[in-house]
Amino acid sequence: MTPSFTTARHWQQSYDARVPADINPDACPSVVAMAQAAMQRHAGQNAFHCFNQSLSYADVDTQSRAFAAYLQHLGVQRGDRIAVMLPNIPAFPVAMFGVLRAGAAQVNVNPTYTPQELLHQLNDAGVQTIVIIASALPTLETILVSTAIRKIIVVQPGDTLAEPVTGAQIAVPPSPSFPLVRFVDALREGSTLQLTPVDLTGDDLLFLQYTGGTTGPSKGAALSHRNLMANIMQARAFLPDMFDTAGDNVVVTALPLFHVFALTINLLIGFSAGAENWLVPDARNTDDLVDTLIKARPTLLTGVNTLYGALVRHPRIGEVDFSRLRLAIGGGAAVLPATSTQWKTITGQEILEGYGLSETSAILCLNVMGRRNFSAAVGLPLPSTDIVLLKDDDQPAALGEAGEICAKGPQIMAGYWQKPTANASAFTADGYFRTGDIGIFAADGLLKIVDRKKDLIIVSGFNVYPNEVEVVVASCTGVSECAVIGVPDERSGEAVCLYVVKAANATLDETTLIEHCRAHLAAYKVPRQIRFLAALPKSTVGKILRKDLRVLATSSISPEPDLVS
């Protein structure tokens, strides 16, 4: 049993004098209350910009109110889960605030999910209504009969904007068996309906943020209104200079809003401050991203190491005016020192690295602003956050000693959605959340991530769990055994490396495996390297030894050079 312990919060000695030790997570009752206050306070200002058009805070207020009324008219009740499967377009925040104002909770869904991935998430969350980008309809259609979905609200990229977006319309073929409601029609109908305000509290469910596990299917981190309000207040208290008090704040959102990193920092924290948020629908198009940066002249930018790496290598990055940039936050995966150095050469400042998980509403730790040098650490725990490092025997690690990062604070989820067994192992007896990451505290309170306790692979900030990939690969004809590990990758931080043992007389090749994986997995989960072996290394009880595969992966001598991609 985990012993009772408390933390001395030695890191607070390194806080800015303006930063409080604690925040009051109940100062604002809900994210809806925060958002409505921002909509009124900044009504005349631009809230979102995309496709060369803007939505004001007043526009977001009007449209989200209409969507909330429409959802209530459909019968949506307090606590119902509604899936939102959208890229970074203005319809995302309008739909999100509409869902929340109706009293429902939002299930954030990656628009690039395969049918298999989507099916699990919809059914696990008990979703009956989905707001979906038109391009993802074919994915939904293949699994619709196996879900509880009763209402499909389809979104076009230019929806919510005043003028049509040239070339953005996605064809939606009519199908009697696939009844759809257009988002613009839902807004139009909702504008004629009465909205019944829901008296939400901090305990109400806000988001189901799905995150995978090393074994079994992905789990939904149940995040409450209090969790997100706490994290908003923690971040703004910890970084008092994050925003210009004069109101000239421009956020560029290249990271996907369905990911908790951008959802919390870019959308919710930015919205609370009245910032103008420039949405980038597809950050993989770095030419468009650089064009956006040139036009927006951002004051705040977030990204993962791969995004910053792509930017510093872009031939036109010198055209961006970074004179207004106050803060560039990096997270999702380790920010490489070389990337931060290159970024500083261009912008004049280091990347501010942070740390958190879906289960922690995004942020546990951040570096302080104004550091002269890159810390190579993930920063200091935020106000009202307690972190202990536990050794394998669940005893606290000494200063400078490695241990599993375990955290407690108002931003941390109460548990996984309907997963009592997983919850029992996810928390210590004292209620500290086990992150599965290994860290070391320095004397000044900086936390450094040194290893990952689990076999998690992080590709460009996205979690890839070996078991999920292995299940897909094992279903491919010709595969006898397989195992997946992460290997270092210059562009994405890590890449998926697949080891395969062929079945007897199988004619299996790399191309077949890649095509199979692409049909069942999101692109970032598809193996980048494939190696064929005669046998996988195993323990005496038959357990595959991934540690031996990691040694093999770093060896300069490949077991079968002609079969290594």
Residue 563 pLDDT exceeds 70: no
Domain that holds residue 62: 31-200
Lowest mean pLDDT across 43-47, 110-114, 199-203, 385-389: 110-114
Domain boundary residue among 166, 200, 234?
200
Read off the pLDDT band of 35 (50, 70, 90): very high
Lowest mean pLDDT across 147-156, 426-435, 554-563: 554-563
Tell me, what's the pLDDT at 429? 94
Tell me, what's the pLDDT at 557? 37
Return the CATH number at 537: 3.30.300.30
Tell me, what's the pLDDT at 542? 47
Residue 176 forms part of a structural domain:
yes
Q: Tens digit of pLDDT for each residue in 519-530?
A: 999 999 999 999
Token digits of residue 302: 């977030």
Tell me, what's the pLDDT at 452? 67
Residue 164 forms part of a structural domain:
yes
Lowest mean pLDDT across 103-117, 227-241, 446-460: 446-460
Q: Which helix (H) or strand (E) holds 441?
A: strand 433-441
Tell me the residue type at 44: G
Residue 321 forms part of a structural domain:
no
- The C-alpha atoms of residue 322 and residue 290 are separated, in whole angstroms, by 12
Residue 214 pLDDT exceeds 90: no
Residue 95 forms part of a structural domain:
yes
Residue 486 pLDDT exceeds 80: yes
Residue 367 forms part of a structural domain:
no
Q: Tens digit of pLDDT for each residue in 331-366?
A: 887 788 888 999 999 999 999 999 999 999 999 999
Question: When comparing pLDDT for 438 and 3, which is higher?
Answer: 438
DSSP state of 265: I
Tell me, what's the pLDDT at 179? 82
Residue 24 forms part of a structural domain:
no
> Exposed, middle or buried: residue 426 (CB in 10 Å: 0-12, 13-18, 19+)?
buried
Residues 6 or more apart in contact with residue 414 via CB below 8 angstroms: 222, 224
Q: What total of structural domains would you count in the chain? A: 2
Read off the pLDDT band of 465 (50, 70, 90): confident
Q: Tens digit of pLDDT for each residue in 118-162?
A: 999 999 999 999 999 999 999 999 999 999 999 999 999 999 999
Residue 133 forms part of a structural domain:
yes
Residue 98 forms part of a structural domain:
yes
Tell me, what's the pLDDT at 561? 33
CB atoms under 10 Å from CB of 85, counted, come to 26
Residue 63 pLDDT exceeds 70: yes
Task: Tell me the C-alpha to C-alpha distance, in Å, between residue 426 and each of 124, 219, 408, 433, 507.
Answer: 19, 12, 12, 6, 43
Counting residues of the chain whose pLDDT is more than 70, the rounded percentage is: 94
Counting residues of the chain whose pLDDT is more than 90, the rounded percentage is: 77
Mean pLDDT across the chain? 92
> Exposed, middle or buried: residue 550 (CB in 10 Å: 0-12, 13-18, 19+)?
middle
Domain boundary residue among 184, 200, 216?
200
553 three-class SS: helix
Tell me, what's the pLDDT at 451? 64
Region 46-75: mean pLDDT is: 98
Q: Provide the whole-model pTM.
A: 0.85
Q: HSE on the CB side for 171, CA within 13 Å? A: 1
Residue 212 pLDDT exceeds 90: no
Residue 467 pLDDT exceeds 90: no
Read off the pLDDT band of 216 (50, 70, 90): low
Domain boundary residue among 143, 168, 200?
200
- The C-alpha atoms of residue 39 and residue 42 are separated, in whole angstroms, by 6
Residue 381 pLDDT exceeds 80: yes
Residues 6 or more apart in contact with residue 75 via CB below 8 angstroms: none
Tell me, what's the pLDDT at 237? 98
Return the CATH number at 82: 3.40.50.980
Read off the pLDDT band of 266 (50, 70, 90): very high
- The C-alpha atoms of residue 493 and residue 304 are separated, in whole angstroms, by 9
Question: When comparing pLDDT for 7 and 67, which is higher?
Answer: 67
Read off the pLDDT band of 75 (50, 70, 90): very high
Lowest mean pLDDT across 377-386, 409-418, 480-489: 480-489
Residue 556 pLDDT exceeds 60: no
